[in-house]
Amino acid sequence: MSKPPAPSPALDRLAALLPPSRLLRAPAQLSAYESDGLTAFCTRPLAVAVPETQDEVIAIVRFCLAEKLPFVARGSGTSLSGGSLPIAEGIVIALNRLNRILRLDPAERIAVVEPGVINTQVSLAALPHGLYYSPDPSSQTICTIGGNVAFNSGGAHCLKYGMTSNHVLGIKAVLATGEVVEFGGNSRTQIGPDWTGLFVGNEGLFGIALEITLQLLPRPERYHTVLAGYDSLERAGDAVSAVIAAGLLPGAMEIMDALALEAAVAAVHADYPPGCAAVLIVELEGPRAIVESDRVKLEEILQASQAVEVRVARDAAERLAIWKGRKSAFSAVGRLSPDFIVQDGVVPRRRLGEALRKIGEWTKEEGLRCANVFHAGDGNLHPLILYDGRVPGQLARAEHLAGRILRLCVELGGSITGEHGIGVEKRDYLPDMFTADEIECMARLRAAFDPLGLANPGKMFPVADAPALVQHGLHPLEKAGIIFRE
């Protein structure tokens, strides 16, 4: 447990910007912010600022700049890579009260939202217009759009529709320099560099998004959701390859192994085929005629895939029941173990079987258990490594296994992250994927947005950030024609 922060004159000055009830300083108040979803890391901040307006966020960031005070923006704290872990000598800026949907235009199919809006609230607001917001991370009922933007979140349906970056059209943000900028707009028709795409996925190292313009999609005319059980992970993986080889593009393809199934059944009473080593969830969606045609092909593929059982959702309730088990998998594992690490890496689809075999071997070597849940369509693995932090050495073994899995992903031609970001958990593995020159280039880019390194310091980079490279004179972003607003 971190020690209580020492009194700070800077916080006394910060108190002038917010009512006392919205500047949290007592140890009991700070304890809820000491970690995010990656509870293996824990740091107590100096204070937590709770702004309610964009102007308050801007004022706080400018205060931090003047005081050279590090800050970490935070939404619901669902990051699984330590991306919103506080800084001991800095403050947390909690954005949950910036939770308004500022505009919803069904004609343009856009929604303009503040960063504290919950992911599913966008789709609920768009539902009367026959629209929805596609990115659907497992934590979508509690995670915020601001956090989704920071880490370029994906979800089960990213195979067909892409990540958060594919659905963000524009951003208004306050940079760590205190400058307020506007990137993009209301459509994809833009001239010049894609600054919006650059900002999405920056992990809070550039500044804080204040408004996000989201692209909405028409709700699919029809869904066809199938659950297939297999007696081995390899057969489930082979079925995924067969679906893709047939030219089908499902909205989602997910696999859960036996341990993940056990957890989901215990937690939410998911009705999955008993005794299976793995289940595959395939969901077709789109125009009725196309889904009907693809349904016939999918049925033929699954019949030939040696599935031990195939179930088709007969209505919306059965479809939601299938997805409830999958969406609850991460939290459900808590019923099987007091502690666990959720890893996140990507391998090419054709090497899924090889990766899973290696993970199984290494799990036995470390004397641990590992539940596997993954977005099978794009090879995004989510091994859940179970351990008991009260047992000496188990956390170290779990972290060692997690590191082996990340390096395996790179060796097989994949990535050390699919959607959870780098944060603090994976920063030491960045050199396994990038050269020193590439990392230096990224650090220079970060310095252009945040010369003093105040925004979410200590994240992503394995070494100290590159020195500030912005010289006196015209800001490099201003040279690029970006709009600044006071």
What pLDDT, in 10s, does the model give residues 228-245? 999 998 899 899 989 999
Highest mean pLDDT among 202-211, 454-463, 468-477: 202-211
Q: What is the pLDDT of residue 368?
A: 96
Residue whose tokens read 């789709």:
123
What pLDDT, in 10s, does the model give residues 354-408? 898 899 999 999 999 999 999 988 899 999 999 999 999 999 999 999 999 999 9
Residues 266, 352: Cα–Cα separation, whole Å: 27
pLDDT of 31 over the 80 cut: yes
Average pLDDT over residues 277-298: 96
Stretch (H or E) spanning 302: helix 288-303
Nearest to 375 by CA among 271, 241, 458, 254: 254
pLDDT of 473 over the 70 cut: no
Among left, alpha and beta (phi > 0; psi -120 to 50; other), residue 370 is beta
Give the pLDDT band of residue 170 (cuts 50, 70, 90).
Answer: very high
pLDDT of 477 over the 50 cut: no
Inter-CA distances, 275 with 99, 141, 312, 428, Å: 44, 30, 19, 39
What pLDDT, in 10s, does the model give residues 71-110? 999 999 999 999 999 999 999 999 999 999 999 999 999 9
Q: What is the pLDDT of residue 8?
A: 75
Give the pLDDT band of residue 471 (cuts 50, 70, 90).
Answer: very low
Contacts of 271 (CB under 8 A, 6+ apart): 321, 325
pLDDT of 259 over the 70 cut: yes
Type of residue found at 236: A
Query: If you average pLDDT over every residue of the chain, what do you get?
Result: 91
Contacts of 211 (CB under 8 A, 6+ apart): 54, 102, 112, 113, 114, 170, 171, 172
Q: What is the pLDDT of residue 7?
A: 62
Q: Which domains does the chain have, with CATH numbers?
A: 101-219 (3.30.465.10), 225-330 (3.30.70.2190), 337-419 (3.30.70.2740)
Residues in the chain: 486
Give the pLDDT band of residue 465 (cuts 50, 70, 90).
Answer: very low
- How large a percentage of the chain has pLDDT more than 70? 94
Q: Using alpha carbons only, how large is the chain's radius of gyration in Å?
A: 23
pLDDT of 467 over the 50 cut: no
Between 50 and 328, whose confidence is greater? 50
What pLDDT, in 10s, does the model give residues 298-350? 999 999 999 999 999 999 999 999 999 888 888 888 889 999 999 999 999 88
> pTM for this structure?
0.90
